[in-house]
Structure 1
């Protein structure tokens, strides 16, 4: 009759609404962002946590990320008519004083240690221009003559002076040894001469090789993107484990793939943007490191732009994450935390699918079995609050990061959740049938029993599916999850026994239902592992070695940016 149908429809509508879904997704990302902040990684938006977990290609800069960012002048190679002190003095004049540029700081420190007294007097200084690949200064010498002084990439500076074969040989030899080489030229505007070469060294960080390997094990391919010469970049790349081909200097091909090259040398800031676009065109989710204002377009285009610790404010504002410490450690932490957050949300999604299916079908089964709506709207609201309170605590659960970049397999996830829901439905109907036909309980008492079995059964389901493996091999649940579970069980038991908002149940019946739900968790676990394995939801053996793929839908942030 309508008196029974209307409450049934109302409770079914209540049961089908994922009330806590937006809050749970936001809470999971916020907790991930907080965890990253403690590790020295500052997300500039919550979606960056998800985006870090989807990354499968990392474009890493060299200086300060793979190397120590401790540049020192190692060798000075003067040309005819100049000595080492003179070359260093000229290079110092074309270097910024008090800036953040590590190259200029190293050159000025070396010049200061030499104690040069007869250096030309600086008149005008123009800071380093990434597009021109050089900085320059105007100075007056001891005779009052005006000199133009240029310091920058050899390929640029040599174009301003007469080319000398010996200089080219010297540059090639120094770069082959892994030094970063700058050329210095000076003289009148129309008659400049190559003064010499300044070679700087920046050794790799001690942890770079291990972190590059760890990223590889997580399914992230690392490529080096640097403005340095190919020979210099190759030495550092080999030292940190980036063994592969070097992309020839020049324009970035539109169809380039990460698998083709391990090093991109001589890259201009605008080339970084083109590189990101090319990788995205190939279906990759890209992380890009940068520090300068000119890197902003590439940082903004990448799914996850990463501003390194020495980045300018412009670069930081364009990035999705800002590192407070140099090196790759923060990036590895971001990838892992993104994967952990994904696993928590996936568990919540599985549980939500199972719970929505079982609740709606259980209401129908209850109506067929008893001829009455088995849950009142008030009881359904209590069930929903109890379930959502517990499910939201999954955002704090202890899980292992995914072994590969995050991808949503909606179809498989729905089938897995539905399978778990059917198992839970069978359990709930079984308990209700025992109460109806085995114990001859009245409809009001059956409603209380239905309430209790839904709450306790949902608890059992969460503990079964929070691990993709067997329960006895699982990680320990978080304190918040356990506390939420105990609170839910305690409140539901108290309401059922005391008869608040429902007909009271004997304590023994409540305890028996709880014991049955506990046994159901282990039975469900036995069914879960083969079901998850068949649907591709279960962990692979490689997952088990982690302490903390198939084609599908990547993270939401990744989809948004790769399509831009």
Structure 2
């Protein structure tokens, strides 16, 4: 852990500074004073006013455009248009509001973590109080199994502490007098008195909570929507500018062009785009549930498509979070089986000590039977002795077995510790934890029989998982609190790159030059000795370099980075805190289903791309078609009502694209909106020319030129059928027949085509009927242009 102010001063200085009494604790009056100064030992929560959140839905580019259209409609006394568009605006706001209400409840979970009791000395008596009521200066008692309720400094006693939830280190840490204990860690063995030095959000744990509150991922769906709206506004702006200039020169009054502005503004608004994002991601999320992936933030499944960097927490994510025997060096006269046997005899399963369990598991894997041995006595690991020992009886004879740190075993056996360490040099280079096992008839005859290397082994599927992610174009980086040799060895075993460095190199650069630190984060394959703030900073640095970042984790320490990352992934064994902060939770063991997340995410991307491509083509078609027709005929061939009706019968119906059979790409997708728009405009120009040709047929040969209302209905039909048929053209990068659309998409589009055919043939208020023959002409010509001309041009345009 990083050094704090209280790490650097003695326990006597702390007691003096906090004006505490180690024999009697604080008085009731002093507690009340300190509560006023420091507040409760809890994480303060920041909540945004829900009314303000809802009001914000009416602020922004898309909302402004709709509001302008509403005002224009009112000024021009087009009240039906005004009511319909206002209803669309409110509908859009409600969808957005309820989507945001699904936001992470990580802070609530963190607060619950602090809601524990603490043994506290007050007014000379030891009492149990809620940890929430602790203040700096309180004297507390902690023992094996306790959660540490605040940041403490040890007054006396020796402890073994599990800090993995805070630092990611898989091994327990020994603590003695004057050492710091951090809130959120767990006492594994021992008992001690300590003084509270920091509470609430000032603790190490609380700082993590603050980072969770501050962390705010970029919502790429919002960015994409904003970019699309900007481009559509540019298209409309250019078209309107042309219309105003040309109309001036040909003698059309300005007041007559304003209704055109109303029509074009209405056509350019992608009202259904937020709904398309929501529905596509919801359907994708349901697909992922079947594959063991639970999406808790809808945007994460779409962000997974664009994710190009994945940060993996080592402990519990790449590794099993379980110590295993990974190397054995028997001494002369002994073999590996004997070393495992005697080490297992010096262990006890009931203790749940990770080292004991590692020896017992190794004995079971080697099919070593221990039933004939009887433990006459057993002394579990003690921080004071740094070893476990047992007296064993077998065949009427007894002997003693001991296991522990190499220097401790060398001391009790009288052997040369330097010679033993030299034998274990290879273990030390790889960062393995080395223990010695000794046995003898009694204390005087104890002799070292072997050295054992302990290691948190990688998951069986980790290497395959990493290789598959790399094949999908995702860079994989490891973040761990363990020492550099351990990180490098783990990286080697799972196939990460060789550039795994100590995080201190990155941390120093971050202070001097954030840009250079971002380059280090981008180029490295992993970091060792990482703290929670480092993980959060690394994710932000990668985002600074325009990477879409995924982060996996399982502990409290991972919560800030899980929330900051576009795709925060909590593994199945994760704490509630990590699950609350993450946007994705794995419900099964192993990591291979993250590949499913990436593939399904890319399928969602393809569905969204199809809808957006079709929307831009259709907007370009409407805008240019209406402007050109207006300049030629001096009439508006469609009204604002027609355009709003198109929003429903095209935009909202094509939401069924969210169920389409899409294929994932082999590289991370990118939202190159300008590229999408430019490609769409090529097809859009074709569609405009074809639309004008079909309009010419109607005016020249079908006899509608003398009836303005017939022209409107006929033009509405042209825009509608091109919008429907274009879906099948743009959904497939090859020819449209190369893949089948989903049944729901096919059936809904066919039903919509038939419904609109009935509407334009029999009419509704605001839409005058046209002869069935005219409808069939529009359908036939639109289909021919779309499936023959446009499809072949699109195929050759996209052909690599």
TM over 0.5: yes
Match of 2:792 in 1: 526
1:183 to 435, 438, 447: 435
Radius of gyration: which is bigger?
A: 2
The correspondence for 1:43, drawn from 278, 295, 301, is: 295
Alpha-carbon displacement from aligned partner over 1:440-475 (angstroms, at most 9, x marks no partner): 323332222112111111112222112233324x32
SS of 2:635's partner is: coil
**Corresponding residue number in structure 2 for 1:386:** 649
Q: How far apart, in 1, do the equivalents of 2:419 and 2:536 lie?
A: 36
**1:106 is aligned to 2:358:** yes
- Residue by residue over 1:163-211, the C-alpha shift from the partner in whole angstroms, topping out at 9 and shown as x without a partner, is 92344344444578x895453799xxxxxx9997544577766654443
- On the 8 A contact 1:53/1:405 being kept in 2, the answer is yes
CA distance, structure 2, for counterparts of residue 170 and residue 270 of structure 1: 38
- For 2:62, the equivalent position in structure 1 comes to none
CA distance change for structure 1 residues 5 and 446 in 2, over 3 Å: closer, same or farther? same
Q: What is residue 593 of structure 2 aligned with on the other side? A: 330
Question: What whole-Å deviation, never above 9, does each CA across 1:15-74 have from its counterpart, x for those lacking one?
Answer: 222221211122222222222222111122112123322222223345665567786546
Is 1:486 aligned to residue 486 of structure 2?
no
The equivalent of 1:463 in structure 2 is 728
- The C-alpha deviation readout for 1:390-438, integer Å capped at 9, x for no partner, is 3211222222223322322222222222222222222221111111123
On the 8 A contact 2:521/2:541 being kept in 1, the answer is: no
Secondary structure at 1:331's aligned position in 2? Answer: helix
Corresponding residue number in structure 1 for 2:577: 314
- The residue aligned with 1:219 is 473
Q: Does the C-alpha gap of structure 1 residues 166 and 125 become closer, same or farther in structure 2, counting only changes over 3 Å? A: closer
Give the 3-state SS of the residue equivalent to 2:375 in structure 1.
coil
How far is the alpha carbon of 1:157 from its aligned partner? 12
**Higher relative contact order, structure no. (Cα contacts within 8 Å, ≥ 6 residues apart):** 1
Matched residue SS, 2:303: helix
Residue 444 (str. 1) matches residue 698 (str. 2): no
- 2:762 matched residue in structure 1: 498
Distance in structure 2 (CA, Å) of the matches to 1:415 and 1:519: 24
Q: Is residue 342 from structure 1 mapped to residue 605 from structure 2 by the alignment? A: yes
Alpha-carbon distance in structure 1 between the residues aligned to 2:562 and 2:415: 39
Contact 2:428-2:434 within 8 A present in 1 as well: no
- Aligned-residue offset at 1:151: 7.2
Instruction: Specify which of 251, 259, 277 is matched with residue 504 of structure 2.
Output: 251
Q: CA deviation at 1:329?
A: 1.5
Partner SS state of residue 251, structure 1: helix
CA gap of 1:117–1:270, structure 2 versus 1, over 3 A, is farther
- Cα 1:4–1:349 change in 2 (3 A) is same
Give 1:407-422 correspondences, 5 Å limit.
407-422=670-685
User: Residues 239 and 300 of structure 1: is their aligned pair in 2 closer, same or farther, counting only changes over 3 Å?
Assistant: same
Q: Structure 1 pair 238/140, CA: closer, same or farther in 2 (3 Å)? A: closer
Instruction: Spell out, residue by residue over 1:512-542, the C-alpha distance to the aligned partner (whole angstroms, 9 max, x if none).
Output: 22121111112112232454xxxxxx475xx
Distance 1:312 1:518, change over 3 A: same
The answer for the alignment partner of 1:31 in structure 2 is 283
Deviates more, 1:475-484 or 1:62-71: 62-71
**Which residue of 299, 304, 324 corresponds with 1:52?**
304
- How far is the alpha carbon of 1:249 from its aligned partner? 5.0
Change (3 A) 1:8 1:283: closer
* Matched-pair contact (CA < 8 Å) for 2:316–2:554: no
> Is the 8 Å Cα contact of residues 91 and 184 (structure 1) preserved in structure 2?
no
C-alpha contact 1:299 1:315 (8 A) present in aligned 2:
yes
Tell me how far apart the structure 1 counterparts of residues 282 and 423 of structure 2 sit (CA, whole Å): 54
* 2:504 aligned counterpart, secondary structure: coil
- Give the direction of change, closer, same or farther, for the CA distance of 1:376–1:295 in structure 2 (3 Å limit): closer
2:780 maps to which of 496, 515, 518: 515
Of the structure 1 ranges 301-310 and 82-91, higher mean CA displacement relative to structure 2 is found in 82-91
Helix, strand or coil for the counterpart of 1:415? Answer: helix
User: What is the aligned length?
Assistant: 503
What TM-score, normalized to structure 1? 0.75
Partner in structure 2 of residue 361 of structure 1: 624
Q: Tell me how far 1:245 sits from its aligned partner.
A: 1.6
Q: TM-score, normalised by structure 2?
A: 0.54
For 2:574, what is the secondary structure of its paired residue?
coil
What is aligned with 2:615?
352
8 Å contact 2:344–2:356 — kept in the other structure? no
**480-489 vs 317-326, which deviates more?**
317-326
> Partner residue of 1:129?
none
Tell me which of 82, 102, 120 is aligned to 2:378: 120
Equivalent residue for 2:638, pick from 363, 375, 381: 375
Partner of 1:560: none
Shift of residue 332, structure 1, vs aligned partner: 1.0
- Report how far residue 219 of structure 1 moved: 1.0
- What SS does structure 2 have at the residue aligned with 1:106? helix
Contact preservation (8 Å) 1:14, 1:381: yes
SS in 2 for 1:504: coil
CA RMSD of aligned residues (A): 4.4
Aligned-residue offset at 1:239: 5.2
- What secondary structure does 1:497 align onto? helix
Q: How far, CA to CA, are the matches of 2:652 and 2:458 in structure 1?
A: 48
Pair 1:14-2:266 in alignment:
yes
Aligned 8 A contact 1:252 1:271 in 2: no
C-alpha distance after superposition, 1:95-148 (max 9, x if no partner)? 646xxx7x66434556897456144345x989xxxxxxxx99898989xxxxxx
Q: 1:303-348: CA deviations, max 9, x gaps?
A: 3222112112222222221112233322111112222222222222
| Conserved 8 A contact 1:87-1:195 | no
Query: Does the residue aligned with 2:625 lie in a helix, a strand or coil?
Result: helix
Question: Counterparts of 1:316 and 1:512 in 2: how far apart (Å)?
Answer: 57
Alpha-carbon distance in 2 for matches of 1:48, 1:163: 57
Alignment match, 2:558: 295
Residues 1:86 and 1:105: Cα distance change in structure 2 (over 3 Å): closer
Instruction: Evaluate the alpha carbon distance shift between residue 5 and residue 523 of structure 1 in structure 2; reply closer, same or farther with a 3 A threshold.
Output: same
Structure 1 residue matching 2:768: 3-state secondary structure: coil
